[in-house]
């Protein structure tokens, strides 16, 4: 059962388990011939969904989400908030987070101390190429492009609003050596770059490492902020004194 759910994105698994909890709750109420308040019913669904998630091997935070989901629905509906509010909130979240339910890489930003730490990893020669895989709001790219205008900086981003934001940031800052494009990092050819930077999540790291090993040229740098590659010790680790205690893990490709 756990193996079956492991193939699905966690959000899809969570939704299926909510449906199972709802069906089981309805069936139990019918069999018992009982009527309960909507909130009590929602708490029953939530408890069952959290239990199912536990047995399906979902991460701990999903258990809280699963437990609170149905009760939160009931409470929000009782507040009589206009439906346009929910549609607007959904659309805003959609353009910011886009395919996070599938990629499991949400938007969160590198600190400016990470930007500064990256400066020292840039090659000393002119005309080098730097990639930010999942470039978010473009902070890394525009900072480095300003500090080291003798390099070229490229970002790839899959979520529309961060992409638009970073595109405007580049345009308004007049960074001619900097660009972003809409797309998937899996479609980037890493052979083009001297430094490849990634600040993603634990989920894609193993696959990304294989991509980096296959495509990157010998002597170029692969840098991961915070997230390690399973089974691969970095050649260099830079501790950054920021709020998240970020760590830059650096590999020189063979
Ligand atoms: C943790 S943020 C990092 C943002 C930026 N690199 C920084 O350091 O501030 C990760 C970004 O990667 C994007 N992303 C996730 N999966 C992606 C994919 N497969 N292709 C392109 N972008 C992706 C997300 O939308 C998000 O903006």
Please give the pLDDT value at position 35: 86
Atom of ligand 1 nearest to the CA of 109: 9
Please give the pLDDT value at position 200: 97
User: What region, left, alpha or beta, does residue 74 occupy, with left being phi > 0 and alpha being psi -120 to 50 degrees?
Assistant: alpha
**Smallest Cα–Cα separation from 1: which of 66, 55, 48, 65?**
55
pLDDT higher than 90, residue 8: no
Quote the ligand 1 centre to 136 CA distance (angstroms). 5
Structural domains present in the chain? 2-80 (no CATH), 112-252 (3.40.50.150)
Quote the CA–CA distance of 13 and 9 in Å, as a whole number: 6
pLDDT higher than 90, residue 109: yes
Atom of ligand 1 nearest to the CA of 134: 12
Q: Are 196 and 248 in contact (CB under 8 A)?
A: no
Quote the ligand 1 centre to 252 CA distance (angstroms). 22
* 129-133/152-157 β-pairing: parallel
**Smallest Cα–Cα separation from 207: which of 194, 190, 219?**
190
pTM equals 0.88
């Amino acid at each position: 059962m756990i193996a079956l759910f492991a193939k699905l994105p966690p959000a899809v698994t969570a939704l299926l388990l909510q449906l199972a909890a709802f069906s089981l709750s309805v069936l139990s109420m019918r069999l018992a011939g009982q009527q309960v308040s909507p909130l009590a019913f929602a708490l029953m669904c939530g408890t069952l969904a959290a239990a199912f998630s536990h047995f399906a091997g979902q991460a701990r935070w999903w258990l809280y989400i699963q437990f609170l989901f149905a009760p939160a629905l009931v409470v929000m509906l009782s507040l009589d908030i206009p439906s346009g509010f929910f549609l607007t909130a959904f659309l805003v979240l959609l353009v910011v987070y886009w395919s996070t339910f599938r990629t499991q890489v949400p938007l969160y930003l590198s600190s400016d101390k990470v930007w500064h730490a990256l400066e020292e990893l840039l090659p000393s020669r002119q005309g080098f190429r730097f990639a930010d895989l999942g470039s978010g709001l473009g902070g890394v790219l525009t900072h480095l492009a300003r500090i080291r205008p003798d390099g070229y900086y490229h970002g790839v981003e899959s979520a529309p609003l961060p992409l638009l934001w970073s595109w405007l940031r580049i345009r308004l800052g007049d960074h001619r050596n900097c660009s972003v494009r809409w797309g998937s990092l899996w479609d980037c050819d890493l052979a083009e770059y001297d430094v490849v930077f990634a600040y993603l999540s634990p989920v894609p790291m193993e696959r990304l490492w294989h991509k980096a090993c296959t495509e990157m040229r010998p002597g170029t740098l692969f840098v991961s902020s915070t997230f390690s590659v399973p089974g691969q010790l970095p050649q260099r680790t830079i501790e950054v004194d920021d709020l998240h205690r970020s760590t830059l893990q650096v590999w020189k490709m063979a």
